[in-house]
Amino acid sequence: MEQSNNSLKPRKKLPWLQIARYTSLTFFTLSLPFFNIAYIPVISVALLLLFVLGGSFHCGWMCPMGFFQDLTTLIARKFKIKQKALLPRKWHLILSPLRYLIFIGMSMGVVWVSTAIFMGDARHAITGFIGGKIPIIIGIVSFTAFIVLSIFYKRVFCSYFCYLGSIFGIQGASRIFTIKRDERTCISCKKCDQVCPMNIAVATSHNVQSLQCVNCFQCISTCPTGTTLSYGLITPEHDPLGAKMKAQSPAQKSLVYFVRIILVASIFMYHFNAKSKKQESKQPQVEVVVESS
Ligand code: SF4
Ligand code: SF4
Amino acid at residue number 107: S
User: Which residue's CA is the nearest one to ligand 1's atom 6?
Assistant: 189
Q: Give me the helix-helix angle, 250-282 and 163-171, nearest 10°.
A: 120
User: In this structure, is residue 257 part of a structural domain?
Assistant: yes
Consecutive H or E run containing 229? strand 229-233
User: In this structure, is residue 220 part of a structural domain?
Assistant: yes
Q: How far is the CA of 201 from the centre of ligand 2 (A)?
A: 9
In the prediction, which pLDDT does 215 show? 94
How large is the average pLDDT for residues 29-57? 78
In the prediction, which pLDDT does 142 show? 80
Whether the per-residue pLDDT at 243 is higher than 60: the answer is no
User: In this structure, is residue 279 part of a structural domain?
Assistant: no
Q: How far is the CA of 187 from the centre of ligand 1 (A)?
A: 6
Nearest to 198 by CA among 229, 147, 152, 154: 154
User: Which residue's CA is the nearest one to ligand 2's atom 7?
Assistant: 196
Consecutive H or E run containing 106? helix 98-107
Tens of pLDDT, residue by residue over 148-201, are 998 999 899 899 888 888 888 887 877 889 999 998 999 999 999 998 999 899
Ligand 1 atom index nearest CA of 190: 7
Ligand 1 atom index nearest CA of 219: 1
User: In this structure, is residue 52 part of a structural domain?
Assistant: yes
Q: How far is the CA of 42 from the centre of ligand 2 (A)?
A: 27
User: In this structure, is residue 136 part of a structural domain?
Assistant: yes
The total of structural domains in the chain comes to 1
Whether the per-residue pLDDT at 45 is higher than 80: the answer is no
In the prediction, which pLDDT does 20 show? 92
Nearest to 2 by CA among 203, 231, 145, 157: 203
Residue partners of 228: CB distance under 8 A and separation at least 6: 181, 182, 185, 186, 187
Most confident of 2-6, 26-30, 119-123, 165-169: 26-30
Strand partners, 179: 231
Whether the per-residue pLDDT at 246 is higher than 60: the answer is no
> Which domain covers residue 125, as residue numbers?
15-273
Task: Tell me what percent of the residues of the chain surpass a pLDDT of 70.
Answer: 65
User: In this structure, is residue 282 part of a structural domain?
Assistant: no
Considering every ligand atom, which ligand is closest to the CA of 159? 2
User: In this structure, is residue 278 part of a structural domain?
Assistant: no
HSE, side-chain direction, 13 A CA sphere, residue 38: 4
In the prediction, which pLDDT does 23 show? 93
In the prediction, which pLDDT does 185 show? 92
| Spatial separation of the C-alpha atoms in residues 107 and 197, rounded to whole Å | 27
Ligand 1 in contact with 159 (CB < 6 A)? no
Tens of pLDDT, residue by residue over 73-93, are 889 988 888 887 778 888 888
In the prediction, which pLDDT does 181 show? 92
Pairing relationship of beta strands 229-233 and 177-181 according to DSSP bridges? antiparallel
DSSP-assigned letter for residue 33? G
Q: To the nearest whole number, what is the mean pLDDT of the chain? A: 76
